[in-house]
Amino acid sequence: MKSLRKPLGYAAAVLALLAVFALYTQPDFMVTLADQLWACF
């Protein structure tokens, strides 16, 4: 089980980076997110 921990960690990091990249390819989502964040202040 210990030998699987490192590759699974790398896979999770790559998936997280791909998810962030996918969100940045949708400008409408980023504008909405920025507006919601700005509304907190």
Alpha-carbon distance of 41 to 39, in angstroms, equals 5
Give the percent of the chain with pLDDT over 90. 51
pLDDT in tens, 19-36: 989 888 888 988 998 999
CA atoms within 13 A on the CB side of 21: 6
Which of 33, 36, 37, 38 is closest to 23 using CA atoms? 33
pLDDT-based confidence at residue 1 (cuts at 50, 70, 90): low
Average pLDDT, the chain: 89
Q: What is the pLDDT of residue 38?
A: 95
Give the percent of the chain with pLDDT over 70. 98
